[in-house]
Chain A
Amino acid sequence: MSEPLIFELSSPGRRGVSLPTPDVPVRPVSSYLPDADLRGTPPGLPEVSEVDVVRHYTRLSTLNYHPDRAMYPLGSCTIKHNPKVNEDMAALPGFARLHPMQQDETCQGGLQLMYELSRDLAEIAGLEGVTLQPAAGAHGELTGLMVMRAYHEARGHARRKVIIPDSAHGTNPASVTLVGYETVQIPTNAHGLVDTGRLAELIDEETAAFMLTNPNTLGLFESEIRTIADIVHDAGALLYMDGANLNAVLGITRPGDMGFDVVHFNLHKTFSTPHGGGGPGAGPVGVRSDLVRFLPTPVPVKDGDAYRFDYDRPDSIGRVRGFGGSFGMMVRAYAYIRANGPDGLRQVSENAILNANYIMRRLEKHYPRTVLVHGTQKETPIPAEVPCQHEFVASGTRFRAHGVRMLDIAKRLLDYGFYAPTIYFPLIVPEAAMVEPTETESKESIDRFIDAMTAIAEEVENDPELVRNAPHTTPVGRLDEARAAHPKTLNLRYEKSLAE
């Protein structure tokens, strides 16, 4: 049975929380506010008791799959275990009830945390300065692009274009457009890597930057990264790293050492802050020394023993949001970095890489790694000897012969008690499934996943119908997406207003 909407549980007169009676003199509301500004119709909020609310949202929660239950191999999203101590730290009243508009003297602990986190992230990135302001990875991209634009403007020419690989995440080109640049796409070569020859041809004096993910979105390390950096820098452009895959390189290599000038971090991926069903996250940005002056204001700084926000940054791009950033995520990331220490962080990446390669090798018979070579649209295998990094992308084209798509396999995996990998991304792998186990899965858990994937591959041969009609055990079956694509389905209020 489906759970009613909270509005359907409403019963006039019910209340979910009690409020104090006024302890100050009371006058009619119309004595404070003009009649023209008084609300005519009250908002149609539900009238429910606390127990109604608790049961409703508890029941709703049970309809969600989540990584506290079992593996959540959603590639690119780094769904690792979220240490519980982090939640307690973020909830400390000294942090949770600290107001961003208080004077700096009363926020010394908060500022210290931000200052130290910026410093630690700069060390991890091998870059000079970090802003903690951006609210998510995509917001970090936008901020990084604005910084790069400011750099070019300061040199007298804003430039027009940003080059990105055809394997890039959708937020990369979307961010490029938002900052007023044009996207130029560079095809991936048959090894699943940047074609450096092609890059040299495409880049010119109108190119502001090259945006790259490393390891890239196929889970492959761009071994020619230094050559790439030279090509980019020789053209006077900047090299941007989408840091979504930083979980592969902690303590092994650093964006700055690879030649990147700007990188964004996803605190909700690499640094274990929980994903919340789609946020909140945080997307700090690190930059090389000559770009620091363009970072958003304000910046936490240390003067002697005291910390303060520095607003005096004349070359800054300005603010990208209100207040200082998603501080609650910073607390969690700080706790995570302090708990792991330098050796622990390196072990994170090594274990993430080992886990991914173990799965990749044990599944490659059924789920090979391939890439579509641009122009020919020919599906080419990734050379077998090349290891993946913290994730890999498998192709499911061989299941087409049985009328089965990767979507079907993903749905069938839900029946086996796993969340599905990221599917149909990156776009250059046909029938793609991107698998990222992370370092927090044990061998037993990974083996269970491998067994499930293998069993499904066998089902495709023996009983394709079973896979095509999956899932069979979830709270709802496959949903009619076309039917939802109308404004009237988007909320109850609009639906009612149309009916009237």
Chain B
Amino acid sequence: MTYIPNTDADRQAMMEAIGIGSVEELLTVIPTGVRLDGALDLPPALSELELHDTMGEMAARNGSADRMASFVGGGMYDHFVPSAIGHLAGRSEFLTSYTPYQPEVSQGTLQGIYEFQTMICELTGLDVANASMYDGASATAEAAMLARSATRRDRVILAGSVHPHYIETVRTYAHGPGISVETLPCPNGTLDPDLLESALDDDTACVIVQHPNFFGCLESMRDLERVVHGAGALLVMAVDPISLGVIESPGAYGADIAVGEGQSMGNQVSYGGPALGFFAARDRFVRRMPGRIAGQTVDQENRRGFVLTLQAREQHIRRDKATSNICTSQQLNALMATIYLSLIGKEGLKQVAELCLHKSHYAAERIADLPGFELAFDRPFFKEFVVRTPAAPGEIVTRLADDGLLTGIDLRRFPSLEIENGLLIAVTERRTRAQIDRLVEALGKFS
């Protein structure tokens, strides 16, 4: 099955029109020494029907959340995705077009970006936001790069309670340009402001904290902010957008940059992507921001319209002096987030956040009542928490999968955390009391 409309007769007519006898004549520029002998070694073509069957079978071999009750989080969450999102974002006009290089015929995408930027600023309480980043981890790494260029300092400090993938990604990005990265241990689940104070120096560009953090706990943001700014460093906060329905905004805490994973806003978990990263900052950093940014303007007849703007930051203009290399980002996912936030609205976001609080606390309390189980950290949490288990968490997760439960994340998968018998459990608004009770009962078998 190919998707080529032209027939042999069409090709013949085209070749005649340009005076060639075969396509081979167009390939003479490719030296024979590098030409492929024979065909690629790939499986033979499938019809559309066969494709459905083959891939349907593959998908069915996964224990996905349509068939299992999922308590897995750790940066992506099984939040409810209202139906209208897929129907709207699936429209060809949004799905198949590309970066709005011709704004006159791309106002749908551009206005969508402007609305997205506004919503991200509303959520984060910051001045400016871009059109999207690849994901939460790479957005965090780009925040570190921005902090370095804005402060001309070369050191980045991360709380050890930040998502391990974010920490690893920051380290990967930092290596080439020679940024030194330090991670501060958080044995009690959150970053100790005194420890941070002693680690800060006048070469520290920024401190990166996540709030709620990887363990679900709230950090001592007010104290951390005071310490970070006291040392002249920037405060970068990675946040869960759903939490911002009840938890204070990064802007109000005094953060300079807020980043995060936007999947929770109307995007499927999709085995890790595509979803979106978001990036917001104080206005003084706008000319150092990575990524596309849309701005409002007018046309010759004074009609409102939107264009990509401040492009002097970007790779196609500034090349090796660009603030980032990002070109294609996550526009459709950002649109889905925008539609999600429109549907859910001001009240709805608060309601989802409160449902997460109620359900996760109900689950945590019931699990902590089981003999042998306890909450690992005595800190306020939002929708996710760590329990210490009487048996190896990996074994619990494997055994409970047979009962149709995706129990959570065995923290031994992240050796750098040095947490023994830690199981990270996430409870979103999507979990019912019956599912939670089933989880508790199943865990009880290990008491």
| B-side interface residues, number (CB < 8 Å) | 212
Q: Are B283 and A487 within 8 A (Cβ)?
A: yes
Q: Tell me whether A490 is interfacial, beta carbon within 8 Å.
A: yes
B39 and A47 contacting across the interface, CB-CB below 8 Å? no
Once the chains are docked, how many angstroms separate the CA of A355 from the CA of B6? 10
CB distance from B278 to the nearest CB of A (A): 13
Q: Which of A16, A66, A88, A136 contacts B96 (CB 8 A)?
A: A66
Q: How far is the CA of A348 from the CA of B5 in the complex (A)?
A: 11
Q: How many A-B residue pairs have CB under 8 A?
A: 724
Are B108 and A443 within 8 A (Cβ)? no
Contact across chains for A61 and B91 when beta carbons are under 8 A apart: yes
**B438 is an interface residue with CB less than 8 A from chain A:** no
Would you call A67 an interface residue if the criterion is a C-beta within 8 Å of the partner chain's C-beta atoms? yes
Contact residue among B75, B305, B320, B394 (Cβ-Cβ distance under 8 Å from A174): B320
CA distance in complex: A482, B169 (Å): 36
Known: A139-B325, A485-B295. 6 other contacts (CB 8 A): A53-B342, A126-B36, A169-B316, A326-B273, A339-B46, A425-B316
Given the known interface contacts A39-B245, A320-B138, A485-B295, the answer about A345 and B42 at a Cβ–Cβ threshold of 8 Å is: yes
- Residues of chain B within 8 A of A324, CB atoms compared: 271-273
User: Which chain B residue lies CB-closest to A136?
Assistant: B328
List 22 A–B pairs whose Cβ atoms lie within 8 Å, in order of A's numbering.
Answer: A2-B107, A36-B248, A45-B349, A60-B112, A89-B51, A99-B64, A99-B65, A124-B42, A139-B138, A139-B325, A257-B35, A276-B332, A280-B332, A322-B136, A339-B45, A339-B48, A348-B2, A353-B27, A357-B26, A443-B14, A484-B294, A490-B296
B27, A252: Cβ atoms under 8 Å? yes
Contacts of B325 in A (CB 8 A): 138-139, 141-142, 171, 174-175, 177-178
Given A19-B352, A146-B172, A476-B303, also A494-B270 (CB < 8 A): no
Which residues 214-243 of B have a CB within 8 angstroms of A?
218, 221-222
Q: Tell me the minimal C-beta distance from A92 to chain B in angstroms.
A: 4
Render B33-69 as a binary contact track against A, CB cut-off 8 A, 1 for contact.
1111001111111101001101111111111111110
8 Å CB contact of B127 from A46, A442, A494: A494
- Chain A residues with Cβ below 8 Å from B169 are 318-322
Are the CB atoms of B332 and A343 closer together than 8 Å?
no
Residues of A within 8 A of B138 (CB): 135, 139, 320-322
Q: With A226-B34, A338-B51 given, is the CB distance from A322 to B165 under 8 Å?
A: yes
Q: In the bound complex, how far is the Cα of B41 from the Cα of A221, in angstroms?
A: 24
Contact A124 B331 (CB under 8 A): no
Given contacts A354-B26, A411-B104, contact A38 B93 (CB under 8 A): no
A414 at the interface (CB under 8 A from B): yes
A451 to chain B, nearest CB (A): 14
**Shortest CB distance A141–B (Å):** 7
CB distance from B74 to the nearest CB of A (A): 5
Tell yes or no: B202 within 8 A of A by CB: no
Please state if A476 and B34 are interface contacts (CB–CB under 8 Å).
no
Complex Cα distance A489/B33, Å? 55
Q: Could you tell me if B108 and A36 are in contact, using CB atoms closer than 8 angstroms?
A: no
A110, A329, A420, A476, most chain B CB atoms within 10 A: A476
- B283 to A277, Cβ gap below 8 A? no
Nearest Cβ distance between residue B357 and chain A, in whole angstroms? 5
The answer to whether B5 and A14 have CB atoms under 8 Å apart is no
* Given contacts A66-B96, A252-B27, A476-B299, A442 and B5 within 8 Å (CB-CB): yes
The verdict on A180 contacting chain B, using a C-beta distance below 8 Å, is: yes
| Shortest distance between the CB of A250 and any CB in chain B (Å) | 8
Within the assembled complex, what's the spacing in Å between the Cα atoms of A89 and B59? 9
Is residue A422 contacting chain B, with contact meaning CB distance below 8 A? yes
In the assembly, what is the distance between CA of A242 and CA of B70, in Å?
A: 40
Distance, CA A41 to CA B249, complexed state (A) = 9
Residues 36-79 of chain A: 1 if any B CB is under 8 Å from the residue's CB, otherwise 0? 11111111111110100110111011111111110010100101
* Chain A: minimal CB distance from B158 (Å): 14
A47 to B91, CA, bound (A): 23
Q: Mark B100-124, 1 if CB is under 8 A from A, else 0.
A: 1111111111011011011101110
A92 touches B358 (CB 8 A): no
Interface residues of A in 234-282 (CB under 8 A from B): 249-254, 257-259, 266, 268, 272, 274-282
Report if A65-B106 is in contact (Cβ < 8 Å); known contacts: A94-B59, A221-B29, A491-B129. Answer: yes
Q: Are B354 and A29 in contact (CB under 8 A)?
A: yes
Q: Please tell me if B315 contacts chain A, counting CB pairs below 8 Å.
A: yes
Contact segment of A100-108, A196-204, A393-401: A100-108
- Kindly list chain A residues whose C-beta atoms are within 8 Å of the C-beta of B272: 100, 322-327
A370-395 residues at the B interface, CB under 8 angstroms:
386-387, 389
B390 to chain A minimum Cβ distance, whole angstroms, is 19
* A39 lies within 8 A of B31 (CB): no
Chain A residues 337 to 367 lying within 8 A of chain B, measured CB to CB, are 337-348, 350-351, 353-355, 357-358, 361-362
* B90 in contact (CB, < 8 A): yes
Taking CB as reference atom, which chain B residue is nearest A86?
Answer: B51
Give the residue of A327, A355, A387 whose beta carbon is less than 8 angstroms from that of B270: A327
The docked-state distance in angstroms from the alpha carbon of A79 to that of B317 is: 22
Min CB distance A112 to B, Å, is 6
Query: Inside 8 A of A112's CB, which chain B residues have their CB?
Result: 58, 61
Q: Which of B1, B134, B137, B269 has the most CB of A within 10 A?
A: B134
Q: How far is the CA of A177 from the CA of B325 in the complex (A)?
A: 9
| A129 in the interface (beta carbon within 8 A) | no
Q: Is the CB–CB distance between A173 and B96 below 8 Å?
A: no
- Residues in B neighbouring A358, C-beta threshold 8 A: 14, 17-18
**A403, CB-defined interface residue at 8 Å:** no
* List of B residues within 8 angstroms of A26 by Cβ: 358
| Contact B51 A34, beta carbon cutoff 8 Å | no
**Assuming A48-B345, A135-B138, is B109 touching A278 (CB within 8 A)?**
yes
Interface-lining segment among A3-11, A284-292, A454-462: A3-11
B221 neighbours in A (Cβ, 8 Å): 37
A57 touches B121 (CB 8 A): no
Residue pair A66, B18 in contact (C-beta under 8 Å): no
- Per CB-CB distance, the 8 closest pairs between chain A and chain B, nearest first, are A94-B59, A341-B45, A323-B272, A276-B332, A484-B295, A280-B274, A16-B343, A106-B63
